[in-house]
Structure 1
Amino acid sequence: MPRPDRGLSRRAFVRSAVAVGGAGALAACTSREEDADVPQADLDPEELPDRQHAWNEFLDRDDHGNVRPPEHHLLLGLEYVGGGLDGSGDPDDAERERLEDAFTTLERAYGRGNDGLAFTVGYGPTYFDRFDGDLPEGVDLPEPEPLAPIEDPDLDAHDALLHLASDHGHVILSAEEALTGALEEINDVSVEGTLEGVLEVTDRRTGFVGEGIPAENQAETRGIPDSEPVPDDAPFFMGFKSGFERNQASEDRVTIPDGPFEGGTTTHLSKIDLNLQQWYEQDSRDQRVAKLFCPAHADEDRVEGAGHNLGDSSGVEGCIEDAETDARNGLVGHAQKAGRAREDGDPIILRRDFNSTDDDQAGLQFLSHQRSIADFVATRAAMTGGDLTDGAIDSRLNNGILQYVRVRRRANYLVPPRRYRALPTPNPE
């Protein structure tokens, strides 16, 4: 743990504590956030939406109506280690009850939202492979795979993924300690169930998002040049705002509409390293604007600072139809390309990604929800822009931000509705 007297800001110190984890980090984080009064939930768990991913109505919004995501995030990769009382190796009702008690404990202890806790649990293809039956028709959960010729990621095989998010680091750490059996009480609520003997943590990733937080956390992080630090008003390491309301799919759009998993969604997770040394030192600000948004944004000076002036939309809608022409002219923007993957003019994925300094490397945990993994694959194909590069521009150079990102890991998960979130079968009905 970093010492509080090292000159770290409160937010940077809390980020470090979340990254370290454990009882010592929780104690240090609680001490640093002692003035953060976190009330218990004002809704009974039974009153919460059945959609695990229904966060937006509970999250804060900025002056333009954009959802403000929680500042601190924790991802736990989980392996099923139960076996059922009948010795079959399949989950049984006792294990499901234990997990459901664990999840409802969190929902009683903290309200859903920035000041409390938001979380989802999803299950990967390896989890469902243990059952004899198949997932129902219409539920798209393929094994993860490389999605572009320029990438060679490791492919995760976790049985489950738990995503925890809050503005308060001690809330995330308390939830983690309660789930793993280290606490008997959380926010004055008795812990009624844990993951012990059912799901074991095999991977732990952390991150953060919010205006000014990347700048506060860039010290001693690989990939960020001292000569061109991350701007103070940027919520992401690449220096610009993201997650505009009109550039996000709605929660309705990413929800599975029917069948046994009606009300659920899917999650794609990529772990990405960022080459910010090259991003900030090689390119001018105008070049960065052109590559992240589109050339017209740079030519017409549309982006002030980190882009907060853009309101509730990045404004690339007017650039999308120019993507082929801009590519022929030698440069096409990231958002401009990705914006081509729309349905009836609307985006098809809901991004909930966040910065990461795991392994002291500037990176991004790209987490998105979509109705089917195919929607993410289509969006990634549009962002890669392979159809624009033939005879126009190099496959990476001046092709959005491809040359500045390296995909290290990929994973896919099915996020069931809350009623089936504790160890679902492939056909729970």
Structure 2
Amino acid sequence: MELPDPDSVPRREFCKAAVALGGAAGLSACLGRGDGSVEDGVDGGPLDGVPAGDSDGAPVRQHAWNDALDRDEAGNVVPPVHHVLRYANIDRGDASRAESRNRLEAAFADLERAFERSAAGLLFTAGYSPSYFDRLSGTLPESVDLPAPRSLTGLEDPALDETDVLVHLAGDDPAAVLAADEALFGAATAANGVAVTDASDLFEPVDRRTGFLGPGLPRERRDVDGIPDDAPIPEGAPLFMGFANGFAASQATEDRVTIGTGPFAGGTTQQVSTIRTQLDAWWSQESHAQRVAKLFSPTHADEERVGEHGERLGSDPGVADLPEDAVAYAREEGVVGHAQKAARARENGEPRLLRRDFPTTDGDHTGIHFLTLQESIGDFVAVRDAMTGADIADETAVGSRVNNGILQYLFVRSRGNFLVPPRELRALPDANPRQDR
């Protein structure tokens, strides 16, 4: 890809493009240091304004990000702005498993020393796929529900992500995310002024996906396919569909999504669905009230609960007080909302998924990397079934896609399932560590 002229676009849009480009060229461009050569742009020196970290202070849970993030005025967690998903296979070559594990753990610990564990520094997780564990001796314990990814509805035919490992890198400073990416997967041997153990030879990179999340960013990136160039996305909207998400009341707690027993206690499961969005009709044919009805519920539209981009909702999308019988509701209204469908999968009134999804313009097309954490993949499947609303479509006139939430605008391109172990097992874990070590 080509970077835009840095003098013709806002600085943060240019840096978002640099994150998407990646590598030494992306980091060099982001830092404004010249032609993208390793010597000029990836020297591993301290980054301006990026705090260093301390590996001794990291929690047991890799996925325990919330305490390291800010909250908005309503109490919602404010996610990092820039995200990189690195899919790779593991190549240990002639090295022993113990040597490879120790070297990879050293590289992860070095990143923790290089960057404060915060949005101002760096947050990251490493997860492992069912395919990774299938090649090891032993089997995963019963406390871990990690089936192979699959198509979940008749409306999708996704490619299945079965690479060994997925590393998720996130932070507000694009240079920090790019420097960490280069330290793990590229030629850099230092990041933010800290030497980083070289473990890059352990990885066979397969794919690199990127995204961003923040008010105004989708509005700035309307120049891609999948959305009209003049789509009236509100300035405060962090998503291409024009509304906020990540409301505290609709998010599972980190405790709820944490595996509680067995050798992987303190870990979680992660699924990532890459979704392409087609939003031309969303913006050109639907009114604001219709968009609210399809994303939240017709009640939200009738009572004007949402506001321009969700600001009236505070920390609660207000789906718990909707009629329990969604089929009867849909039959009466002729429309059913995405959020009200998903809420049907709550357990004892509590959400089951912790969403950390983010928009993307990978491939110069609007999309979402729909990343969720849950105790078991079964939790995700249950929520996905509720979101699909096949029972509602079968028993009402909403149809399989039209007026059935936002299904007609979403197209699942790929899906993968991963185990995110506790921190002490994040480097090449065995299938059943207590038995195999």
Deviation at 1:194, TM superposition (A): 2.2
Residues 84 and 95 of structure 1 are in contact (CA less than 8 Å); yes or no, is this contact kept in structure 2? no
Picking from 57, 72, 84, the partner of 1:74 is: 84
Are positions 1:265 and 2:268 aligned together?
A: yes
Deviation at 1:180, TM superposition (A): 2.2
Deviates more, 1:329-338 or 1:44-53: 44-53
Residues 216 and 238 of structure 2 are in contact (CA less than 8 Å); yes or no, is this contact kept in structure 1? yes
Inter-CA distance 352–138: structure 2 relative to 1 (3 Å threshold): same
The equivalent residue for 1:370 is: 374
The aligned amino acid for 1:64 is A
* Pairing 1:7-406 to 2, within 5 Å after superposition: 7-31=8-32, 36-41=48-53, 44-83=54-93, 85=95, 92-196=97-201, 198-219=202-223, 221-319=224-322, 321-329=324-332, 330-392=334-396, 393-406=398-411
Cα distance between partner residues in 2 of 1:225 and 1:172: 30
Deviation at 1:45, TM superposition (A): 1.4
Deviates more, 1:1-10 or 1:184-193: 1-10
Deviation at 1:232, TM superposition (A): 1.7
Deviation at 1:406, TM superposition (A): 0.3
Residues 296 and 340 of structure 2 are in contact (CA less than 8 Å); yes or no, is this contact kept in structure 1? yes
Residues 100 and 193 of structure 1 are in contact (CA less than 8 Å); yes or no, is this contact kept in structure 2? no
Deviates more, 1:226-235 or 1:111-120: 226-235
Q: Secondary structure at the match of 2:308?
A: coil
Inter-CA distance 252–25: structure 2 relative to 1 (3 Å threshold): same
The equivalent residue for 1:89 is: none
Cα distance between partner residues in 1 of 2:195 and 2:412: 41
Residues 71 and 210 of structure 1 are in contact (CA less than 8 Å); yes or no, is this contact kept in structure 2? yes
Deviation at 1:353, TM superposition (A): 0.1
Deviation at 1:7, TM superposition (A): 1.4
Q: Give deviations 1:388-422, integer Å, cap 9, x for gaps.
A: 12230211110000001000001100000000000
Q: Secondary structure at the match of 2:200?
A: coil
Q: Give deviations 1:234-258, integer Å, cap 9, x for gaps.
A: 1011100000011100000000001
Cα distance between partner residues in 1 of 2:6 and 2:185: 30
The aligned amino acid for 2:395 is G
Equivalences, count = 420
Deviation at 1:319, TM superposition (A): 1.7
- Flag structure 2 segments of 5+ consecutive residues without an equivalent: 34-40
Deviates more, 1:119-128 or 1:389-398: 389-398
Q: Give deviations 1:66-123, integer Å, cap 9, x for gaps.
A: 000000000000101114546xxxxx11000110011011100111111010000000
Deviates more, 1:143-152 or 1:316-325: 316-325
Residues 88 and 204 of structure 2 are in contact (CA less than 8 Å); yes or no, is this contact kept in structure 1? yes
Residues 26 and 174 of structure 1 are in contact (CA less than 8 Å); yes or no, is this contact kept in structure 2? yes
Inter-CA distance 188–206: structure 2 relative to 1 (3 Å threshold): same
Residues 6 and 14 of structure 2 are in contact (CA less than 8 Å); yes or no, is this contact kept in structure 1? no
Deviation at 1:190, TM superposition (A): 1.0
| Identity %, equivalent residues | 53
Q: Secondary structure at the match of 1:365?
A: strand
The aligned amino acid for 2:304 is D
The aligned amino acid for 2:288 is R
Inter-CA distance 214–202: structure 2 relative to 1 (3 Å threshold): same
Residues 223 and 361 of structure 1 are in contact (CA less than 8 Å); yes or no, is this contact kept in structure 2? yes
Deviation at 1:35, TM superposition (A): 9.0
Q: Give deviations 1:199-218, integer Å, cap 9, x for gaps.
A: 22110000000111111122
- Runs of at least 4 residues off by over 6 Å: 32-35
Residues 114 and 166 of structure 1 are in contact (CA less than 8 Å); yes or no, is this contact kept in structure 2? yes
- Flag structure 1 segments of 5+ consecutive residues without an equivalent: 87-91
TM-score, structure 2 length as denominator? 0.93
Residues 214 and 236 of structure 1 are in contact (CA less than 8 Å); yes or no, is this contact kept in structure 2? yes
Deviation at 1:370, TM superposition (A): 0.1
The aligned amino acid for 2:189 is E
The aligned amino acid for 1:56 is N
Cα distance between partner residues in 2 of 1:98 and 1:394: 53
Cα distance between partner residues in 2 of 1:104 and 1:428: 20
Q: Give deviations 1:29-81, integer Å, cap 9, x for gaps.
A: 1239999511111xx31321110000000001101110000000000001011
Residues 102 and 195 of structure 1 are in contact (CA less than 8 Å); yes or no, is this contact kept in structure 2? no
TM-score, structure 1 length as denominator? 0.95
